[in-house]
């Protein structure tokens, strides 16, 4: 059994895999990291190895504790990968983006794949039929846009995410919802259209915390998979264990 740990900007996700099958998934805030880890290894004594992917803050003492309990692999820019990385600054490429590309290599081999991760940020990553990773884009996610409107202006309120009823907002609140949500939907559809003009056989994956919220509103055909990053990390762990 494999333990997958994804340390994000907001939450820490734990996933237990039996080969390619997801057995359990938990999400906790960073303060409960060690407590949840102890619970999982207590409940799944068959776990024998672990991978950590971190784009957030992870205490070195916590990593050391994990390494004493399990064979632990920390994903970084030096990790052996199953694709050719043509990113000009590979050391700055986020480990979350690496994991997403690895998932596409495993699940959609020899395809042109655009992976869209809608989380704190929205990331776009593209890999070709030749198994070459070219890069992509990074833009603010839903919550960042709401927060920016509130924090960087004097009078705009901080709102909870809501699907707007109309493009035309008839109040400050509905105008913010329209600008944020429809702005993101138009952005994503526009990016997909741009790639499809160059790659007619494009496969599009949408994942991340806001994937379910956005997926039904997009005009383009996509595969929505909220576990795509976790599956990619599991694949990397197996790939580097053989």
Domain assignments of the chain as residue spans, ordered by start: 2-74, 84-233
What does the pLDDT look like over 26-66, one tens digit per residue? 999 878 888 999 999 999 999 999 999 988 777 778 888 88
Strand pairing report for 84-85 and 71-74: unpaired
3-state secondary structure of 198: helix
At 133 the pLDDT is 98
Tell me if 2-74 shares its fold with 84-233.
Answer: yes
At 242 the pLDDT is 75
Please tell me whether 97 is known to bind a ligand.
yes
In angstroms, rounded to a whole number, what is the distance separating the alpha carbons of residues 133 and 136?
A: 9
Instruction: Judge whether 96 counts as a catalytic residue.
Output: yes
CATH hierarchy code of domain 2-74: 3.30.420.40
Which strand ranges, in their side-by-side order, compose the sheet holding 49-54?
A: 21-28, 12-18, 2-7, 49-54, 71-74
- Sign of the Cα pseudo-torsion (38, 39, 42, 47, in order): negative
At 88 the pLDDT is 96
Residues found in the chain: 242
Please tell me whether 10 is known to bind a ligand.
yes
Please tell me whether 120 is known to bind a ligand.
yes
Query: What are the distances in angstroms from CA 119 to CA 113, 163, 223?
Result: 19, 16, 16
At 192 the pLDDT is 96
Please report, to the nearest 10 degrees, the dihedral formed by the alpha carbons of residues 109, 111, 114, 120 taken in order.
0
Q: Taking the model in full, what pTM does it have?
A: 0.92
Please tell me whether 6 is known to bind a ligand.
yes
Please tell me whether 172 is known to bind a ligand.
yes
At 220 the pLDDT is 87
At 57 the pLDDT is 75
Please tell me whether 94 is known to bind a ligand.
yes
In angstroms, rounded to a whole number, what is the distance separating the alpha carbons of residues 149 and 54?
A: 28
What does the pLDDT look like over 152-181, one tens digit per residue? 999 999 999 999 999 999 999 999 999 999
User: Of residues 96, 125, 189, 201, which has the active-site annotation?
Assistant: 96
Nearest CA to 9 out of 127, 189, 147 is that of: 147
Nearest CA to 97 out of 107, 87, 88 is that of: 87
Q: Which listed CATH number (3.30.160.270, 3.40.50.450, 3.20.20.80, 3.30.420.40) goes with 84-233?
A: 3.30.420.40
Question: Where do the H-state alpha helices sit in the chain?
Answer: 33-43, 60-69, 95-107, 142-151, 172-177, 183-198, 211-215, 228-239
Which single residue is written with the structure tokens 């020899």? 110
Please tell me whether 8 is known to bind a ligand.
yes
Q: How many CA atoms lie within 13 A of 71 on its CB side?
A: 10
Q: CB of 5 within 8 A of CB of 52?
A: yes
For the chain, list residues with pLDDT below 50: none
Residue 77 has a CB neighbour count (10 Å cut-off) of 15
């Amino acid at each position: 059994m494999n333990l997958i740990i994804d340390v994000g900007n907001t939450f820490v996700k734990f996933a237990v895999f039996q080969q390619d099958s997801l057995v359990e998934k938990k999400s906790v805030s960073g303060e409960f990291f060690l407590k949840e880890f102890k619970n999982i290894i207590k409940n799944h004594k068959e776990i024998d190895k672990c991978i950590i992917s971190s784009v957030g803050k992870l205490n070195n003492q916590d990593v050391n504790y994990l390494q004493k309990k399990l064979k632990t692999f920390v994903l970084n820019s030096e990790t052996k990968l199953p694709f050719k990385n043509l990113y000009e600054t590979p050391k700055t490429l986020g480990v979350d983006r690496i994991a997403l590309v690895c998932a596409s290599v495993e699940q959609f081999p020899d395809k042109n794949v655009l992976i869209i991760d809608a989380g704190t940020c929205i990331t776009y990553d593209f890999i070709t039929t030749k198994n070459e990773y070219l890069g992509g884009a990074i833009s603010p996610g839903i919550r960042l846009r709401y927060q920016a409107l509130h924090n960087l202006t004097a009078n705009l309120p901080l709102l909870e995410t809501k699907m707007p009823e109309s493009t035309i907002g008839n109040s400050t609140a509905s105008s913010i919802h329209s600008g944020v949500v429809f702005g993101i939907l138009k952005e994503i559809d526009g990016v997909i259209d741009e790639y499809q003009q160059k790659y007619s056989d494009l496969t599009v994956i949408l994942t991340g915390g806001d994937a379910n919220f956005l997926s039904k509103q997009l005009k383009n055909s996509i595969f929505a998979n909220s576990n795509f990053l976790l599956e990619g990390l599991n694949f990397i762990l197996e790939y580097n264990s053989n």
